[in-house]
Amino acid sequence: MRSIIIGTICLIATQAPAQNRETALKNYFDTITAHRLYDGNIALAENGHKVYVYSGGYANYATQQRNTAQSRFNLASVAKVFTATAILQLKEKGKLRLEDEVGRYLPDFPFTGITLRHLLTHTSGLPNLELFEELVKQYPDTIITNGNILPLLKRWKKGLYFKPGDEFRYCNTNFNLLALIVESVSGLDFAVYMERYIFKPAGMKNTYVANMHHADDTLVVKQQVKPTFYDTTWQQADKVTRYRYSEYNNSGSVGSSNIFTTVEDMLKFDNAFFAGKLLSLSAVEEAITPLKLNNGKEYEERMDTMLGEGIGQYGFGWEIFNMPGYGKGVGHGGFKFGLATFYYHNLRHKQVIVAYTNGKSSLGDNVTSCLYMLHQQAAIPLFLKRSAVHEYARALMVQGADHAACILHLCKADSTDYYFNPREMNFLGYDFLYQSKAREHLQWALETFKLNTFLQPADFNTYDSYGEALLEAGRREDAIKMYRKSLELNPTSEDGIKAMKKLGLM
């Protein structure tokens, strides 16, 4: 999956542009350490040499194992860069062509008109993780591997989402298929190929493709989440019910994810790749050239993870960042629940950012700040204030609604130490409503949504959410009143219209 990074709110002053780069970086990461703002590792390099390496927080909260420079992270979707490199290596050896259809290398592939180029650029029209839903529904303990891909595609009845090449639609299935093609063409297991032709030539001694034994690797960090907005403890993501499908059932495929490595090994890959040690320099350039759709236009999107002005594009397994003042950068982001990764190489300045996190972070702010500081510019202010909604949640569960309302008002008044975000109140209400197993969960949801309508009386969504909870509580007439209020504020609200239709009132 691609990386999805959400920042928080509240700020302090950080270092001024006049400070030298080393001092700015030290002050920034010292502040992060002091306030425990980052679980994970970050490495910065320039012209092939390390500038700064940071490790912080916990690889495993349950055992209090800390992250170190040797900690190995699942690269998630950053692995696509490696899979694309393998395909281009085989192309340079004359063993395949990007214009060839997939069926030439995988005879059981059921679709025509899809080429290797379409797979590399996410323009195939194939289904993503939804491909496995029926199998997992039938066999809940199934762990999907690449061996499931072709049989399930043959059973897929919905066809392609669009004509290959017409659109860009990010899809992990594309890169699972590319891994199968690497095996078909090379005659080697995907993990063996990667070790022999990419990891070893790049000097990556602490990197491997996931295998049956990687769970025993004590240096692998855990994907850690707080399952709900009100939770105070971290849990392993694949053991949380709401994340089971993506983090347990879909944990066994390769090509799109599941390469484990360190930040320093990722710097070694970067050096080898851009020095032409893995591909010819012409192939490197081909890999990072923006894709063109069938209409002849280059595909453009919002930049992934990196903040600020700029346009995102996509090449062969590489994301492209075009940022005013910084020039072209390439790399990739990755996301799994409880883990996020980011790799960025600035072509003009030969600067590299590698960042992995498996818990607390504001990754978009962090990596963008690293880019700024590498350019002698001020970092984005760090967010240090605590959430008033978190305080409200704890008070509500322990001491009841009246005490919680008092705590929330006091926190809102203390703008030095706390911030208030009404969207967090909405998230909290839904977590109480659908995720909590406590006997009082419905009453907690009602109290949270009700209070939010008073705090945000002009927001249609607060009434819509309160109406949903009232309906769950069997209070139909009150729910109708809230839905009507929501539609009064926003007559086009899809959720409000859907609810009223379901109630037989539209």
Are 286 and 367 found together in one domain? yes
Are 358 and 249 found together in one domain? yes
**pLDDT for residue 17 is more than 50:** no
Structural domain of 347: 21-78+222-374
With cut-offs at 50, 70 and 90, classify the pLDDT of residue 504. Answer: confident
Predicted local confidence at residue 440, as pLDDT? 95
DSSP 438-488: STTHHHHHHHHHHHHHHH-TT-HHHHHHHHHHHHHTT-HHHHHHHHHHHHH
pTM score, two decimals?
A: 0.89
Mean pLDDT of the chain: 93
In angstroms, the CA 406 to CA 230 distance is: 18
Are 234 and 354 found together in one domain? yes
**pLDDT for residue 14 is more than 80:** no
Are 252 and 296 found together in one domain? yes
Question: In this structure, is residue 338 part of a structural domain?
Answer: yes
Question: In this structure, is residue 7 part of a structural domain?
Answer: no
Are 175 and 114 found together in one domain? yes
155-168 pLDDT, tens digit per residue, is: 999 999 999 999 99
Question: In this structure, is residue 27 part of a structural domain?
Answer: yes
Structural domains counted in the chain: 3
Q: Count of H helices and E strands in the chain?
A: 19, 16
The CATH number linked to 311 is 3.40.710.10
Question: In this structure, is residue 206 part of a structural domain?
Answer: no
Are 428 and 483 found together in one domain? yes
The CATH number linked to 492 is 1.25.40.10
Question: In this structure, is residue 204 part of a structural domain?
Answer: no
Question: In this structure, is residue 322 part of a structural domain?
Answer: yes
Are 56 and 124 found together in one domain? no
Are 248 and 276 found together in one domain? yes
Q: What's the distance, CA 144 to chain centroid?
A: 20
Are 360 and 260 found together in one domain? yes
Predicted local confidence at residue 7, as pLDDT? 40
Q: At what angle do helices 388-399 and 401-413 cross, to 10 degrees?
A: 160
